[in-house]
Amino acid sequence: MARHGGGRGWYGKVAGAALGVTALAVGASVWTAEAGVTSGPPPQAAASASPAGGVGRVQETIVHASDAGPRGVNLTIDDGPDPAWTPQVLDLLREHGVRATFCVTGIQAEAHPDLVKDVVAAGHRLCNHSVSHDTTMDRKPEAYQKQQILDAERTITEASGGVRPLYYRAPGGAFTPYSRELAASRGMRPLGWNVDTKDFERPGADAIVATVERELPNGPTLLFHDAGGDRSQTVDALRRILPRLKEQGYTFGFPVR
């Protein structure tokens, strides 16, 4: 899993406003309801918030494997939600009957809680992608890492209406032993990737598709983005990739927990 630096410039413009935007304290209480993902929209009653004591620890190793088996693919969508692009991605996933994992930032979740709820209602899973997408988190003090992870967890859970993120993906892959242990203790499995589509760099839809086809043998977890700028190439690429992978006998699942 190579370090992914996409979005650093875009998030740099908002990271300085993170504390003012989120107004979250490190010691604030964290909501902790488990998300039930089924073949249809999950019952919201089962996703109501519960006290922090209900969190179950998961493994702290970085996961890549798919629960869909040897021909499984994990589609992961990072940095949103975004009002321009997330609805288009959701429409494509709905059209092809595909479920994905959305790695959401605290800033974006607080700004667009309706879209977080749309993600959950469609049966997708949530992943904590930190408050402000700071790709240098691994070089910051543990107190800062804690704030970024726990504040994002609380914000995402509140935005979703009580559905907790089940994974934690460090911005740019900037995991530390501390951040992995903290996330796992909160029931969020550290989540990596195998195929970086480089869609954030906008290389063209053809190049994005070619990267997936070339690198999918490396492992099942694909990295895309639905925020941070013009994501029209991502949408175009997904429009081609989803039916093509299904025709090749792949099935779409979630990262194992």
Residues labelled as active-site residues: 78, 225
Task: Let me know how many helices (H) and strands (E) the chain has, helices first.
Answer: 9, 8
Q: Which residues are CB-contacts of 23 (< 8 A; sequence separation ≥ 6)?
A: none
| 239 C-beta neighbours (distance < 10 Å), count | 16
> Closest Cα to residue 149, out of 164, 221, 95, 162?
164
Question: What are the backbone angles phi and psi of residue 172, rounded to the nearest 5°?
Answer: 65, 15
The DSSP string of 112-179 is -HHHHHHHHHTT-EEEE--SS--TTGGGS-HHHHHHHHHHHHHHHHHHHTSPPP-EE--GGG---HHH
> Closest Cα to residue 116, out of 190, 237, 227, 205?
227
